[in-house]
Amino acid sequence: MNGQPLPAEDTPTFLGITLDKRLTWKPHIQKINQKAIRRSQIMEKLYGTKWGANSKILRQVYQGYIRPVMEYASPAWSTAAASNLTSLSKTQNQNLRIVLGAIKSTPIKELHKQADMDTLENRREQRTLTLYETSKRNPTLHFTTS
């Protein structure tokens, strides 16, 4: 740029999405998981059994402050290996335990049922399918081929 060569990066970030040479999405998922964990720690400070925010407030904090970090541009990286995506699911489950005041041994399906929240995997799939359908129905978008 301006006569100067740009340095090559192994994991460049564009629009908040970290790429890697093999498109495994592992560096991106690690980065967003760490960001979500940092935000979860703030939510933990709001929680208290005898004081602090109630479940409704904690749910709003999770849905508006933590979950968007874990879902940003998810259709782009929805092809990541399940082994890479597991860390995000674990972080979501930990947040749901905080929201509900549930103990660690609470079954994961029960956490989602009590919180009335879908899994990140299901939400990613839904967003990916919605994007696909939108692109197929709108001829001005060129995300897919005919």
Long-range contacts from 9-18, C-beta under 8 angstroms, 24+ separation: 15/73, 16/72, 16/73, 17/72, 17/73, 17/76, 17/77
Separation in Å, CA 94 to CA 40, 103, 144:
9, 10, 36
Res 143: pLDDT: 58
Strand partners, 101: none
Give tens-digit pLDDT for 61-115: 999 999 999 999 999 999 999 999 999 999 999 999 999 999 999 999 999 999 9
pTM of the model: 0.85
